[in-house]
Amino acid sequence: MAGATRAMTCHRLCLLSHPSELVIGTAKTFFTVPSFQAKFFRKWSSIGSIRAFGCGGAGASRAYPDGFLRIPNYDSLPQFPSFRFSVLDKRARGLCDLHLARAQVSVEEREIETEHVSRNVVDILQERGLIESITDEELRSVCTKQRLKVYCGFDPTAESLHLGNLLAIIVLSWFQRCGHIPVALLGGATARVGDPSGKSMERPVMDDQTIARNLKGIHGVLSQILKLTREKHSPLILNNYDWWKEFSLLNFLRDVGKYARVGTMMAKESVKKRLNSEEGMSYTEFTYQLLQGYDFVHLFKEEGISVQIGGSDQWGNITAGTDLVRKLLQQEGAYGLTFPLLLKSDGSKFGKSVGGAIWLSRSLLSPYKFYQYLFATPDSDVIKFMKILTFLDLEEIQSLEATMGKEGYVPNSVQRRLAEEVTLFVHGEEGLTEALNATQALAPGGATQLDWKTLEAITEDVPSCYVAQASLLGSSLVDLCVSTGLLQSKTAVRRMIKQGGLYLNNEKVEDEGKTMVAHDIVDGKLLLLSAGKKNKIVVRMT
């Protein structure tokens, strides 16, 4: 070991600026060395541990996924010490002898930007019921000391993400709110293989066109919600096809497969379940965990991403990744975190492959319908949903909960707040306004002043038909209600008017003999007929 030890001298204080610099130090104090040495340090630390000795203390340093080396107890060293490194691993020593002599250059110190890491994200997620498991409790302290990059993967198995996936986006967003960098990974490659997790049957193979269309749709949803910018710490969206397309089978078997134990792979829940089924499992799907596992290795090494999150069904794939980082890169510092699955009241998972998904993309589900879905959350779920699907303070949620039991509580007030918060997060101001306008316009007997834009927007959610304007003017309203299919017969229309249930543009119709005039056509474009609470039709003019 002695032969591998050389002295390095520190000179001056400065800020870290260049990404290729190596940073050494504790959470608060970092040392940087110029990039040519950084390269060697990174290499040594990936094959063996490095020990740092100074006048006041010593500590085994660790290479972090960002490629930086940190000396845990550096703070106990006097300022600007001379200190030396000794490389403890035999394989590293040769390299070290070669290059350490050149490392007699300045080492620069800087204060790490700790202010960006505002709150402990792991504690927050736990308080809100958003943690199912963590691979290592150490993440709780690591996340307060450095800006982390955190990723979650989404396979493009549909054109949009759904309410269940929103939980993943919310967890990413919590990381972002606490100063970290969220990364959404599109599974352009993994979608070609198919994740068996939670699936009782083999997934159908998707053709390239469908995958491309789905990637585009999901990219749109993610970029709108995560709000990508050109700034340094902006969220990122990557696609794993970018590194898998070049990976040959032989290289995969040699570089990844060698580190994977078949016994461990078979023990994963996703595999065990399927092996016991009649259909069994294809070799392709069996390999899925290694693809996701290697993604983590790649992202750890190339992008400095050290945390992977996912729903609890992803635990096996996520731990495949942390294991591979340890074995393949011989590095610690890769963490996994899972959150509980969002379940419907019947206990089934909100998903996309199963019908009836609550889509996040407005082209598949209008902001109005999305809002309405949340508005209809049962009282028994609403507080839990507030905690997991919104960013409201827990105290505020508690006080809302307290109002629910009190006299004078207006039913569904908490649901309204939930629907507003989540619609705002997913569809932005514009989407929320559209949802609120449509809600008002479509409210049973709602007496809202209608404009053509609102009516146009609700045509996504209520039936509509065309009528020639010229033939409409002067005709009877009763006839119109029958010809548009609102009600079956003139008798039914007249009965509805008598009962006070027929509305034209949200205004009650009282005159059975009413004829249509130009003023009845909203902004000269369309009108709304309603019979009772739910039966509505938008009539467009041609």
Ligand X SMILES: Nc1ncnc2c1ncn2[C@@H]1O[C@H](COP(=O)(O)OP(=O)(O)OP(=O)(O)O)[C@@H](O)[C@H]1O
Ligand Y SMILES: N[C@@H](Cc1ccc(O)cc1)C(=O)O
User: Can you give the binding site for ligand Y, defined by CB under 6 A?
Assistant: 153-155, 185, 187, 190, 195, 240, 292, 295, 314, 317
- Identify the burial level of 15 via C-beta atoms within 10 angstroms of its C-beta, where 0-12 means exposed, 13-18 middle and 19 or more buried: exposed
Which of ligand Y, ligand X, none does residue 422 bind (CB under 5 to 8 Å by kind)?
none
Q: What are 536's strand-pairing partners?
A: 530
Which of ligand Y, ligand X, none does residue 165 bind (CB under 5 to 8 Å by kind)?
ligand X
Closer by beta carbon to ligand X, 152 or else 467: 152
Cβ of 424: how many Cβ atoms within 10 Å?
Answer: 18
Residues 6 or more apart whose CB falls under 8 angstroms from that of 167 comprise: 130, 311, 339, 341, 342, 388, 389
Minimal distance in Å, beta carbon 155 to ligand Y?
4
Closer by beta carbon to ligand X, 341 or else 364: 341
Contact 323, 290 (CB under 8 A): no
Residue nearest to ligand X (CB): 311
DSSP-derived letter for residue 204 is P
Q: How far is the C-alpha of 537 from the C-alpha of 542, rounded, in Å?
A: 16
Q: How far is the C-alpha of 492 from the C-alpha of 513, rounded, in Å?
A: 14
* 515 to 471, 474, 537, 538: CA distances (angstroms): 12, 5, 18, 18
Could you give phi then psi for residue 332, rounded to 5 degrees? Answer: -95, 175
Look at the block and give the residue holding tokens 């959470």: 27
Is 351 among the residues that bind ligand X (CB under 6 A)? yes
Closer by beta carbon to ligand Y, 301 or else 369: 301
Minimal distance in Å, beta carbon 185 to ligand Y?
5
Is 168 among the residues that bind ligand X (CB under 6 A)? yes
Which of ligand Y, ligand X, none does residue 540 bind (CB under 5 to 8 Å by kind)?
none
Minimal distance in Å, beta carbon 314 to ligand Y?
6
Q: How far is the C-alpha of 125 from the C-alpha of 387, rounded, in Å?
A: 9
Is 157 among the residues that bind ligand X (CB under 6 A)? yes
Pick the piece of the chain touching ligand X (CB under 6 A) from 107-115, 140-148, 161-169, 511-519: 161-169
Residue list 322-341, contact with ligand X (CB under 6 A): 341
SS (H, E, C) 321-368: HHHHHHHHCCCCCCEEEEECCCECCCCCECCCCCCCCCECCCCCCCHH
Is 281 among the residues that bind ligand X (CB under 6 A)? no
Is 352 among the residues that bind ligand X (CB under 6 A)? yes
Pick the piece of the chain touching ligand X (CB under 6 A) from 256-264, 289-297, 347-355, 390-398: 347-355
Residues 283-322, one symbol each (x = binds ligand X by CB under 6 A, - = not), give ---------------------------xx-xx--------
Contact residues toward ligand X (CB under 6 A) are: 152, 154-155, 157, 164-165, 167-168, 195, 310-311, 313-314, 341-342, 349-353
